[in-house]
Amino acid sequence: MKDDSPPRVPAPEGWMAGWGKIYKDLLDAPVEELQELDVSRVPRELERALKVAEIDASELKILEMASGDGSVACYLGKLGATVEAIDALEVAVEVTRRRAEALGLEDKVSARVENIDGWAIPEGEYDVIVALQCLQYLFERAIPRTKEILDAIKPGGFFVYSGNILPHFETDPPIRFITRDELQDLLQGWTLHSFGEDEILLKKDDLRGYIWIVARKPAD
């Protein structure tokens, strides 16, 4: 018998519910709002890296983990890439599908309910794997899952990552920050196209650190 229950995730239910509320509000958003793609710097850095490497985005198959509201998946779809977006929240998947439809990208962007861990990523299936602000919520599985992602990317493919680092408020359970040193160790031999760290004051007494990276796997 098929199990239709939501995938189990390590993040606390309260955190998932908070994210779910954000996406639920988008289900009733007008089409014009869904057509606006307000993405962070990181996907744009991937676009720049593809130009530098003289790679046609239309030839790429991309997996985006924890795709949220679908903005990044659709941004990459507009570049011409074929994108598979996964998220553990059904409402996020619904929003992604609705956004793709609003942008006429149904043939480029697909979405499904899936945890970002607990299954084997087919080796050599994806040219690019995008993991923005999500691997840290795997806690003790953050580093092992990152290694699995890197192993699965095609030779010559790209890893696109962002996450939090210190400073950051305390959480329960504690977020597993992936540090600069750890990323550099994991990506030895890869070509670094973009790397950065930042600190942003989101509101009073809430200063958060961020780290991002776009790196290309050796072709051999």
**CA 216 to each of CA 29, 128, 162, 165: distance values in angstroms, whole numbers, following the listed order:** 36, 9, 15, 22
Asked whether the predicted pLDDT for residue 140 surpasses 90, the reply is yes
5 belongs to a structural domain:
no
Mean pLDDT of 128-152: 97
6 belongs to a structural domain:
no
2 belongs to a structural domain:
no
The more confident residue out of 12 and 179 is: 179
1 belongs to a structural domain:
no
> How do beta strands 109-113 and 82-87 pair?
parallel
Say what the pLDDT of residue 73 is: 99
Round to whole Å and give the CA distance between 32 and 175. 35
Residue 7's pLDDT band, with cuts at 50, 70 and 90, is low
Strand order in the sheet with 206-216: 109-113, 82-87, 61-65, 126-132, 153-165, 206-216, 191-203
Asked whether the predicted pLDDT for residue 2 surpasses 50, the reply is no
Tokens 């149904």 correspond to 106
Look up the domain containing 196 and give its range: 13-216
145 belongs to a structural domain:
yes
Say what the pLDDT of residue 1 is: 42
Round to whole Å and give the CA distance between 131 and 163. 9
Count CB-CB contacts under 10 A for residue 171: 13
The more confident residue out of 114 and 1 is: 114
- Number of compact structural domains in the chain: 1
Encoded tokens for 106: 């149904």
7 belongs to a structural domain:
no
Instruction: State the CATH number of the domain containing residue 99.
Output: 3.40.50.150
Cβ-contact 138, 176 below 8 angstroms: yes
Lowest mean pLDDT among 16-25, 60-69, 180-189: 16-25
User: Over the chain, what is the mean pLDDT?
Assistant: 94
74 belongs to a structural domain:
yes
